[in-house]
Amino acid sequence: MNETKKKPWKLFGKLNIIDVIIIAVLILAAIVLAVRTLTSQGVTVNGQHVRVHYEGFNYIRNYVPENFTVGDPVTQYDTNLDLGTLTEFSYIPSYYWVYDYTRGELVKIESEFEAFISFTSDCYGKLDETGLTIGSTTFVVGGNYYFNVGPTRAGYQISGFELLDD
């Protein structure tokens, strides 16, 4: 007499079809987000072994390269994208040219607190005629980027790519 009627949208007890659909949509959204995050970060799967050449730009202080160590990780500042490890580096005091009217020629003046920096890193990515693609980012020769090298951060321009193995 006090028998409860089974409602057509209920599957088992307190769980109903709408609940199952909502749970399925949430699981699907989590999977899509995870796949997008994992493919946009890190080393490209089955990528080519590439050496990237960098030159510093925009007033890099001389204490920056003093904190480099071969083997330091190289990452893009904005995205934390992995560009491999530092393989070699060099730096010299920066300078600029000024015309000396008394001598009638250009004179080289060194900048006391700045340095010209060049370094290379080895990484994996897809190298083609458009540049080096790692994840979903394509880097180009002549492109200016901010990179973290070990514990440092500065602006660098990519000056070249070298394919290390086929």
Dist CA 99 CA 107 (whole Å)? 6
The per-residue pLDDT for range 123-159, each reduced to its tens digit, is 999 999 999 999 889 999 999 999 999 999 999 999 9
Give the SS3 label for residue 136.
Answer: coil
Percent of the chain with pLDDT over 70: 84
Q: Radius of gyration over alpha carbons of the chain, in Å?
A: 27
The three-state DSSP-derived secondary structure of 38-87 is HHHCCCCCCCEEEEEEEEECCCCECCCHHHCCCCCEEEECCCCCEEEEEE
pLDDT confidence of 43, banded at 50, 70, 90? very low
| pLDDT higher than 80, residue 17 | no
The answer to whether 85 and 74 have CB atoms below 8 angstroms apart is: yes
pLDDT of residue 19: 78
pLDDT of residue 146: 94
The per-residue pLDDT for range 96-127, each reduced to its tens digit, is 899 999 999 999 988 889 889 999 999 999 99
Beta carbons within 8 Å of 129's beta carbon, 6+ residues apart:
none
